[in-house]
Structure 1
Amino acid sequence: MSWLDEVMRIMPSHAGAGDTVDWDVIEASWGTRFPDDYKEFTAEYGGGAVDDYLELLTPEIYVSPGGESSYSGMQQESANAEDVWRTSRPEVAEVPRLITWGIDSSADILCWLATDSDPNKWPVLVWGRGDAQWTQYSCGMLEFLCRLFRAEFDECPLSDLSLWGTASPRFLHWAEEQRLRKAGIDPWTGESDPFAGMFGD
């Protein structure tokens, strides 16, 4: 069983989930290939959230009228991760390439340490806001998620135990979450959202 199969067993995707990504364009813009398991996850799940706690990012490119491209979300969070690295490790002269694929409500940052020429060998690197330190995990994104859900690390890698050992985490694609909110439904409880429409679209 692949790591994607195991993630899907623990956390099924839903109708309409998944994003179509032109990886040739994305990888040319970022100047690097992305891990195969991440590409599989993106096709099946896409960008969204797990239990309204962990946000999983996808790279996007926007082309301005002037022809300059920039990234949303993932690029900004990757820049944030590198800023945190500089602040937390001032004794290290060079900042390694960090690419953020997840952030959570505890302000933890989940990255790849993207220094190997083979992206399938990139380890996961987590900035734990709670203990203010970086911790490296010798596994890819999907294995990391599986081991988080199954509580297989020595301790929870995140600052909150919301997803630690959870039997049935729920993933919601950002577009479905947005659709439910516009319909006046709290996407995480299924109940009427008393704040629907109060803050615009």
Structure 2
Amino acid sequence: MTALTALTALCPPPPTVPPAPDWSRIEDTLGMNLPQDYKQLVATYGPGQFCDFITLYQPDAPSEWADLTGPMPARLRTQIEEVRQTARHPWALPHSPEDLFAMGVTGNGDYLFWVTQPADSPDEWIVAVNEALRAPWFTYNGSLAEFLVATLSGTTQIPMFPKDLLGHGATFAPATLRSNTPTTAPRTSVSTRAIRDWANANGYDLPERGRIPIEIIQAWEQENSNSG
């Protein structure tokens, strides 16, 4: 039994979901390949929340706060080290910030990351959970789908998650059906392709694939903010 099969048995997906994105385009935009189980999760469940708590980032999401292809993953990667260095007693990081790619968030502001090593083997990436960019950290030595099965079945207790997370069982609520999901005004999804094109047109030495440094994202945001 695959982890996804176990998850759908544990937590039934909605009867209909939005069409799956063009993964080739998404991976080209990100400059990296994505785990197959994540693609299957998106295709099976679509946007929404597990147990009214866990939200997975989606490609081209209307809000940058949940957009896998937007600037948030790079922002968070930089902020982790900034928060740690400004703490009164800096803590040790279990993973290099450069190896962390944010792909989910919880209702308490905890972040879910892939540990992107080996870089060319995304199906081997494990999951790290962080409490609001601070200590503590929890690392799950398995895939995202396996992490969700372990968490929603109660076989693994994530220290920073509520103890009553499964008080109403393992559930999934599609985003389009949730009345209490925070909403933002629709925006034009900005992919890293647009940022990459802008950077190359403005003299930055940026390869076609790979992560975009946060300073380039910030420069792009500043120029577009000024032009708006």
The residue number in structure 2 matching 1:135 is 138
Separation (CA, whole Å) in 2 of partners of 1:77 and 1:172? 23
Q: Is the contact made by 1:113 and 1:125 (CA closer than 8 Å) also made in structure 2?
A: yes
Separation (CA, whole Å) in 2 of partners of 1:200 and 1:122? 33
The residue number in structure 2 matching 1:2 is 2
Q: Is the contact made by 1:10 and 1:168 (CA closer than 8 Å) also made in structure 2?
A: no
TM-score, normalised via structure 1 length: 0.72
Separation (CA, whole Å) in 1 of partners of 2:105 and 2:37? 18
Alignment pair present for 1:119 and 2:122 = yes
Separation (CA, whole Å) in 2 of partners of 1:167 and 1:8? 17
Separation (CA, whole Å) in 2 of partners of 1:105 and 1:72? 12
Q: Is the contact made by 2:112 and 2:128 (CA closer than 8 Å) also made in structure 1?
A: yes
Q: Which amino acid aligns with 2:109?
A: A
Sequence identity (%): 23
Q: Which amino acid aligns with 2:13?
A: S
Separation (CA, whole Å) in 2 of partners of 1:71 and 1:163? 22
Superposition RMSD on alpha carbons, in Å?
A: 3.2
The residue number in structure 2 matching 1:25 is 25
Alignment of 1:28-177 (within 5 A): 28-60=28-60, 73-74=67-68, 75-90=70-85, 95-116=97-118, 117-129=120-132, 132-153=135-156, 155-163=157-165, 168-177=169-178
Question: How big is the shift at 1:146?
Answer: 0.6
Q: Specify every segment of 5 or more residues in structure 2 that has no aligned partner in the other structure, as ranges.
A: 86-91, 187-228
Q: Which amino acid aligns with 2:114?
A: W
Q: Which amino acid aligns with 1:103?
A: V
The count of corresponding residues between Structure 1 and Structure 2 is 173
The residue number in structure 2 matching 1:190 is none
SS of equivalent to 1:14:
coil
The residue number in structure 2 matching 1:66 is none
Separation (CA, whole Å) in 1 of partners of 2:185 and 2:59? 26
The structure in which a higher percent of residues are strand is 1
Q: Is the contact made by 1:26 and 1:61 (CA closer than 8 Å) also made in structure 2?
A: no
The structure in which a higher percent of residues are helix is 2
Q: Which amino acid aligns with 2:32?
A: T
Q: Which amino acid aligns with 2:101?
A: I
Separation (CA, whole Å) in 1 of partners of 2:31 and 2:133? 32
Question: How big is the shift at 1:3?
Answer: 0.4
Question: How big is the shift at 1:132?
Answer: 2.2
Q: Is the contact made by 2:58 and 2:66 (CA closer than 8 Å) also made in structure 1?
A: no
The residue number in structure 2 matching 1:12 is 12
Task: Considering Cα pairs closer than 8 Å and 6+ residues apart, tell me whether 1 or 2 has the greater RCO.
Answer: 2
